[in-house]
A and B are shown apart, each in its own frame.
Chain A
Amino acid sequence: MTEQAIEKQTESEKWEPKIIAFLCNWCSYAGADLAGVSRIQYPPNIRIVRVPCSGRINAYFIIKSLTDGWDGVVVSGCHPGDCHYISGNLVARRRFAILKELLEFFGIEPGRVNFMWASAAEGERFAVLIRKATEIVKKLGPNKKFEKKW
């Protein structure tokens, strides 16, 4: 982008979301690593938290992230059937399904919370999905619904 083009950007276009990404130690974290060493570009908006398994993810983590001001949350684990602990991601999947529907029911943009599978070999897929998640969250704008009145 030229400097002129950057200047022309509106406030909302300039705004970059901050996204917290919970990555499973065995697949997605390695996938992110692979994306890095393979020099595949993906948006710098995510901050990674390594967790032992996507089954470790509690709805608390996700909601707490939103109340703490993160604009979006990404949770990534192993593909179904590939879980290091056999079924962690399958149990987590049911939790995610409920959370996603409940958020929608409460009128909170479900797009703020994104779930994905990415294996250790899928650096490219990881980058693509992170790009997609970032775009979704960017479109939603800053996370205001959990902001406390000061």
Chain B
Amino acid sequence: MVMIVGLEEENKEIESNMRELARGLLKEKKVDVIIGYKKGTLPMMSQPIIIDKEEDVDKLLWNNTCYVNLAKYLVPRVAKFVDPEKGNLKVGVVAKGCVGRALIHLASENRINLDEITIIGIPCNGVINRQRIEMEIGEKEILEVTASGNNIVVKGKNFEKEFPFDEYMNELCKQCKIRSPPLVSKFPDLHVGACEEYASIVDEFDDIAEFEAKSPEEKWAYIQDALSVCTRCYACREACPMCYCNLCFVDQNKPIWFGKTTDMPDIIVYHLIRAMHMAGRCVACGACSLVCPMGIDLNFINRKLEKIVKQRFDFTSGLDPDTLPPMTDFKMEDAEEFMLEED
């Protein structure tokens, strides 16, 4: 990716455009509330914020630490999005590509009514891989993180280190082909700001080829090692815009399907089944990995899912609210090379 301007200027431009759009929407009463990001209290953090007044627009922010997928706050709607008298309010969502995809995909699952939201599109330039930077800095406190040129500058007491953004971007952002929210022709009023039309997504999935080529033992060892630190706090689940079940399968206790302990089989089963449930639904926002307190990288599993769904069913999630998600659909001619057959 060639960047003409530095990261800092790029963010500034995105931010000021977004604020203008938000101001306009609130002024013309096209939306009742807007959800976006505001500056966090820690150097590599941003916080979701809901605003309903014009003067608060300047609190909105865009930088490369806006991890959280804001679609999460719409399913189910948080209290501020529902008026006791008017019912569901019209919500403006500050949306990078993956937030837009999440909203559209949730609409295809009938969880969101697209008439009730407005997508404020942002041409996202990726978010940083917070945990990777933290781990490389090691046991030192990070006090300030800024963008300069194409680098992320991390400052602390007695140290300063630069990380090339292209390298230290979140893994899914590196592969992202849908940076701005997709346009939906059926809802021309749904979008303001930078949105794009995506005809077909071409993806080679080179990034996981190396892992796929490993032997089963190596894969198993890697998976075990990667997940061994999981504390099963379920932050990955709670941050995922697609995890909206009232009762998650791991919480079900009539019957208890799977163990709740941090024994290795239980952890692996949790991540395996969660992956199953994400098939054809993951919108590649990477929130699950970025919120993990233990810094587990779940991205490679999500990439694999994307690959399976793309290659088998030629489906990319979050592009069209009228296409059925692949796991609720079928075709007579679906490949079945894995079925047991007589010789």
Complex contact flag A–B (Cβ < 8 Å) = yes
Residues of A within 8 A of B (CB): 59-60, 63-64, 67, 80-81, 87, 90-91, 93-110, 114-117, 125, 128-129, 132-133, 145-149
Chain A residues with CB under 8 A of B301: 105
| Contact A102 to B265, CB < 8 A, known contacts A81-B332, A90-B334, A93-B330 | no
| Contact A102 to B276, CB < 8 A, known contacts A107-B218, A107-B220, A129-B340 | yes
Q: Count CB-based A-B contacts (< 8 Å).
A: 121
Select A146's contact among B218, B269, B275, B334, beta carbons within 8 Å: B269
Select A94's contact among B214, B217, B334, beta carbons within 8 Å: B334
Whether A106 pairs with B334 at a CB distance below 8 angstroms is no
| Contact A149 to B330, CB < 8 A, known contacts A106-B268, A133-B340 | no
Compute how far the CA of A104 lies from the CA of B305 in the bound complex, rounded to whole angstroms: 12
Stretch from B55-63, B81-89, B256-264 at the A interface = B256-264
Compute how far the CA of A99 lies from the CA of B330 in the bound complex, rounded to whole angstroms: 16
| Residues 283-336 (chain B) with a chain A CB within 8 angstroms | 301, 304-305, 308-309, 312-313, 326-332, 334-336
Chain B residues with CB under 8 A of A128: 342
Whether B221 pairs with A98 at a CB distance below 8 angstroms is no
Chain A residues with CB under 8 A of B273: 59-60, 63
Question: Which B residue sits closest to A106, measured CB to CB?
Answer: B223
Answer yes or no: B338 CB below 8 A from chain A CBs: yes
Whether B265 pairs with A97 at a CB distance below 8 angstroms is no
Whether A67 pairs with B223 at a CB distance below 8 angstroms is no
Whether B216 pairs with A63 at a CB distance below 8 angstroms is no
Chain A residues with CB under 8 A of B265: 67, 145-148
Q: Within the complex, what minimum Cβ distance (angstroms) separates B329 from chain A? A: 8
Answer yes or no: B79 CB below 8 A from chain A CBs: no
Whether B335 pairs with A97 at a CB distance below 8 angstroms is yes
Compute how far the CA of A106 lies from the CA of B340 in the bound complex, rounded to whole angstroms: 21
Whether A115 pairs with B339 at a CB distance below 8 angstroms is yes
Q: Within the complex, what minimum Cβ distance (angstroms) separates A80 from chain B? A: 6
Compute how far the CA of A94 lies from the CA of B334 in the bound complex, rounded to whole angstroms: 8
Chain B residues with CB under 8 A of A115: 338-340
| Residues 202-239 (chain B) with a chain A CB within 8 angstroms | 211-212, 214, 216-223
Lowest 5 CB-CB distances: which A-B pairs, in order?
A: A107-B220, A107-B219, A90-B330, A116-B340, A146-B265
